[in-house]
Structure 1
Amino acid sequence: MRPTGCAAYLRSVTNVGFSVGTVAGGLALDAGSRAVYTAELLAGGAVFVVAGVLLLALPELPPVPADRGESRWAVLRDRPYVAVGLLNAVLITNSGILNVALPLWIAERTHALTSVFAGLLLTNTVLVVLGQVPVSRGAEDVRGGARAMRRSGLWLAACCVLFAFAAGRPSWFAVGVLAVGVVVHTMGELLYSAGSWALSYELAPEHAHGQYQGLFGPDHAAGHGRHTRRHDLVDHRSRYGRVGRAGRPAGRRGGWPLQPWPGGRNGPVRSR
C-alpha cells in the first residue's frame, strides 16, 4: 500500500477513536466521580500499552543508505519541496477555519445558537471517517496529489463564502447554510489531507524521509486528527483562542467548567 492510502485508513480509524474517547470522556464528566475518572485514566493507559504491543509485531525495515557526504540540511536546498511546504502551510489553515473561526463566527455574527457548532463538528467527524479513504484514491502520486491540493483550495474557498452568507440571517437559514458549508469544508479538508500526504512522501528521497518530513511535518501533522490540530488562526492564549477551544463537543476542558462570556449575545464561552 502506498503511503497516502495507509495514511487515509489511519486517519479514518483515528477519528473513530477520537469519537469514542469523546463520548467516554463526556460520560465520565457527567458522572463526576473520582472512581470513574480513575477507571477511565487506567483504561486509557491500558489502551496505549496494547497499541504499543501491536506495533512491536510490525516487521523492522532496514534504513535506506544515504549518499556519502550529503548534508543533513539538504532539504533546505530542495527549493521545489520548500515551496510545496509553504503552500501546504497556507492550506493547513482549513483546521483553523473549522475549530477556531467557525465557532467565533457563529457566536458573534449569526443568529444561530452556539450549541449548533457541536452538531457541525460531529458532521465533520462522520464525513471524515466515511470519506477519507475513497477521496484519497487517485491521489497516490505527485500528479494526483497536486490535483487534490488544487481542488482542496477551491472547496475551502467555497466554504468560506457559504459561512459568510450565514451572517445576520434568520436562525433557521443560518443553520442550513452552516451545515452545507461544513460539508463543503470537509470535502476540501479530505482533498487537502490526501494531497499533502502524496506530495510530502512522493517528493522526498527514500533515504531522507526523516529530514523531509521534519520540514513538512509541523504543518502536515495537524491534518491527522481534529482533536490534535493546532490553532493556526488564533493563538491559544488569547481570549479568542479560548472561545475556539470551548466550542468542542466535550463541553469541558481539563476538568474546568465552561462559563458564559459576560456581554455575549447568545453564549460565547471561555474557560476559567
Structure 2
Amino acid sequence: MDQRDQKGTYSDLFRLDGRRALIIGAGGIGAEAARALSDHGALITCADRDGDAAQAAAAAVGGQSAELDITDSEAVRHAAESLPEVDVVVLTAAMNVRKRILDYSPEEFDRVVDLNLRGTFSVIKYFGEKMVERGRGSIIIFSSIRDQVVEPGQSVYAATKAGAVQLVKTAAAEFGELGVRVNAVSPGVVETRLTSQIKSDPQWHQAYAAKSALGRWSLPAELAGAVVYLASDAASYVTGTTLRVDGGWTAVDGRFTPPA
C-alpha cells in the first residue's frame, strides 16, 4: 500500500514529510502544485522543457530543478533512472492547437498527440516502473474537462485528454496490487498561458465564466488541493479515478438558466 503507518490525527493524513515529489510542467498549475506539496512537507523537484521555468519554480520552494522534454521518451526513461527515489509524480504539461478538424494539419496533430498522449504514456511507464519496484507511489496526471465534453476546435486536444484518462485507469489496474496509485485531475477553465487566446476575447472569456456553476474561471492555486489530496495518505484507497475540479462545468446542462 502507498499508505504509511498512520498515527496521530486525521490532519496527519495530508502530511507528506520526507516524500519526494516531481512536478513535470513547472509553470502555472505546476508551480502552485509544487508550493502546496512543499508546504505539506514534500521535497520538490520541478522539471520542464524550459530550464529557466523549472529553476524559477524550484527556487520558490527551495527545491531542485531539471530540464525535461517528455516528448523524448529516452529522456523520460533517463530521468526516472537518475532522479532520487520519487514518491509522487505530477504531470501538468500539455499543449493545444485550437482548430476545426478540416483545418488541422497532420503535423499539428502529431505535435499535440506527441506531448499530451505519448508524453503521458512515457511518464506513467518509466516512473511507474520505478514505483512498482519500490512498492509505493502516487502518479497524478492532469487531464481536462475536454476528456468528457467538447466544443468545435477541440478535437485532437480532447482526444488526447480522453486517452490520458484511459491510460490512468489502465495503469491503476496494473499497478494497484503492487502498491502504486494512479489518478487524474480534470480542471475546468484556468487562468494560464494555455488559455491566453480565450482571455484576450472579453465575450469568449465571459461565456466560459458563465458556463461553470460558480460563474467564474479558476486560478492555478485552486487545483493545488486536489494534488495534495491525491498525493497523500488521505487518498490511500483512491486510484483509477478522475477528480474533477471544474467549478461544476460538467455538471451543468447548457448555459441557459430557465425560470424555476
Task: Calculate the TM-score normalised by the size of structure 2.
Answer: 0.30
Q: Which has the higher contact order (CA 8 A, sep 6+)?
A: 1
More strand by share: 2
More helix by share: 1
Greater CA radius of gyration, 1 or 2? 1
